[in-house]
Amino acid sequence: MNTGLYFNLILILVAVVIIVCIVWRYASRRHTMPCPVWMKGLLDPPFTKGISSRTRKTIERLDLIPGMNVLDAGCGPGRLTLPVADLVGPDGTVTAIDIQEGMLDEVKKRAGDAGLSNIRFIQAGLGDGMLQHNRFDRAVMITVLGEIPDREAALREIYRAMKPGGILLIEETIRDPHFQSRSTVTRLAGDAGFIEKEFFGSRFSYAMTLEKPVHG
């Protein structure tokens, strides 16, 4: 193939991808919709090697120990699912829940390649009532909350699914089209029963840990 023609085709392909991404971002600001499966590379770039510094920082904030049960709420392609499953070990579990079958298929493939067998999979929306009560020591929601049509129901379900004293970590960044402000997350989580424990970052990119109180 002519080199010039090949280069032009690459430019056209890149332009099409950029345009589609912009359209999706614009539409996402007006409708709650998850990141399409074909865009999973944006959530976990395939060219990165090992665990990114961002992922390491997230995991450190979870204060995990072997044997814990962890919920990856809106797991996507499994950027956190796999390293967390490795850390909690065979006596612990990670429950990966996502509304998109394609995302769960990607996590299953990666888990198989990594030899991890302590991951449970649930295809459902958060708030659909599919989570077992009082099961989880930790839960994570990474730029997911704004994609959920009924955020109140989702956080109530996660609250019920947490053990007393369990920790929910929520991360948000202004780069995400569904960005949720700190005040919004605090209000929604508080209405569900959570108590804010720690805050990291700035108003435009932050992580927040929330605790389910131990009553009595």
Instruction: Please give the tally of structural domains in the chain.
Output: 2
Residues 81, 101, single domain; the answer is yes
How high is the pLDDT of residue 53? 85
Percent of the chain surpassing pLDDT 70: 78
pTM as predicted: 0.80
Residues 103, 27, single domain; the answer is no
Percent of the chain surpassing pLDDT 90: 72
Distance separating alpha carbons of residues 103 and 5, to the nearest angstrom: 35
Give the Å distances, CA to CA, from 102 to 84, 120, 136: 20, 15, 25
Task: Summarize pLDDT for 155-208 with one digit per residue, the tens.
Answer: 999 999 999 999 999 999 998 889 999 999 999 999 999 999 999 999 999 999
Residues 101, 72, single domain; the answer is yes
- Is 161 a domain residue? yes
Residues 110, 10, single domain; the answer is no
For residue 191, give the nearest of 148, 137, 153 by alpha carbon.
Answer: 153
Domain that holds residue 26: 3-31
Residues 9, 53, single domain; the answer is no
Residues 8, 60, single domain; the answer is no
- Is 216 a domain residue? no
Tell me how crowded residue 83 is: count the other CB atoms within 10 A of its CB: 20
| Pair 92, 66: CB distance under 8 Å | yes
Distance separating alpha carbons of residues 107 and 113, to the nearest angstrom: 10
Six-digit token pair at 85?
């499953």
Residues 53, 95, single domain; the answer is yes
- Is 17 a domain residue? yes
Residues 49, 15, single domain; the answer is no
Mean pLDDT (whole number) for 88-110: 96
Residues 26, 51, single domain; the answer is no
